[in-house]
Chain A
């Protein structure tokens, strides 16, 4: 197959696959509540003992106060990912706080939670 046919067919095919995925309604972001955050965190960290959960007002992420620090559950597309936070960089804005990790595969996560309570727990 000459590249002049092959490349456009791949592009058209991929666009069709992406459109079908969108049409199927599979582009929604995951949301989480307190018990969902506990459950998801326990899958990756079954040893963790969770004292309290703070769910972001938009339901896109949650902070977990643990016996030995803090944990994070956040949406990645329609799935969730978790992190144990070790001295994260935390900044605040009017709506809550931002958590930044040096980890290249972890995005800056925004949490609409009470910063005064969580800044102290995060050790920030």
Chain B
């Protein structure tokens, strides 16, 4: 096995330089790209995420390693094509994981933290949910282990993938040349993903290859007529890192424990789409779009 560098660790100085450059450019242009408490919350989330991940990742790694060693279908070796294939397939599984994170409340409860800022800058990229590993998302890596990719290769390509994603979190870059926009996820695509405008909701999930969204029908183009508003459809009223991290878990548990619900309704609150409710008193993405359409019709 080659000696693989820890890509994310190597990228940390680059991340810091990118944030400082983004602040300096914003200041020169006179646009407030950052906000102090928002930034502090994002940075604190990054530290908490790192600490929790380091503490809990061993379990997932152990499971994936055992699966690959026992049932791995192919011995891929350590060639460049093997890395390339692993990178593409990892991106495909991340597309589906990300789609599930937006359409199933159990996963959304963790992922919502990443979307909770009303700002969009490089620090937003670091606003990762410390509770992510609670949702056991490592199970989405099992297909790669079953295909025979060793854990070290999966971790290496996942590191590259997350470094790429970091750089899509900026307003400094407009549209890139058409061939790039066609194949790769660009800042413009990911801005749409972080938007609360009804037409942009639940779109552009792909971390690196936007072709997955084009292929599976979830691609939406950024439009100058509808400037992106960032955050959540019901924005948080707090920067408290504990509340930012656990608010959706608290809401979900309260919903599940309501009296007089059927078991299916309790499961609906856990695994249904965000906004689902047993009595229609909340709003899913589809209901929200309908409300906005009706309001537009009434003028």
Contacts and interface: CB of A to CB of B under 8 A. Distances in A.
B20 A17 contact: yes
A21 B13 contact: no
A20 B20 contact: yes
Contacts of A46: 291-292, 295-296
Contact of A26 (B34, B231, B291, B292): B34
B155 interface: no
Contacts of B32: 24, 26, 78
A76 B24 contact: no
Interface residues of B, number: 46
B104 interface: no
Contacts of A16: 16, 20
A11 to B, nearest CB: 9
B22 to A, nearest CB: 9
B123 A105 contact: no
B25 to A, nearest CB: 11
Given A27-B36, A104-B247, A44 B233 contact: yes
Given A24-B23, A104-B247, A76 B36 contact: no
A17 B32 CA distance: 14
A86 to B, nearest CB: 10
A124 interface: no
B63 interface: no
Contact of A13 (B12, B229, B295): B12
Interface in B174-192: none
Contacts of A83: 234, 237
18 contacts: A9-B13, A14-B47, A17-B43, A18-B39, A21-B23, A24-B34, A26-B32, A26-B35, A27-B35, A43-B229, A44-B233, A47-B294, A76-B235, A81-B234, A81-B237, A104-B243, A104-B250, A105-B238
Q: Which A-B residue pairs are the 8 nearest by beta carbons? A: A13-B16, A46-B295, A27-B36, A105-B247, A81-B235, A79-B118, A47-B295, A106-B237
Interface of A: 1, 6, 9-10, 13-14, 16-18, 20-22, 24, 26-27, 43-44, 46-47, 74, 76-79, 81-83, 103-107, 109
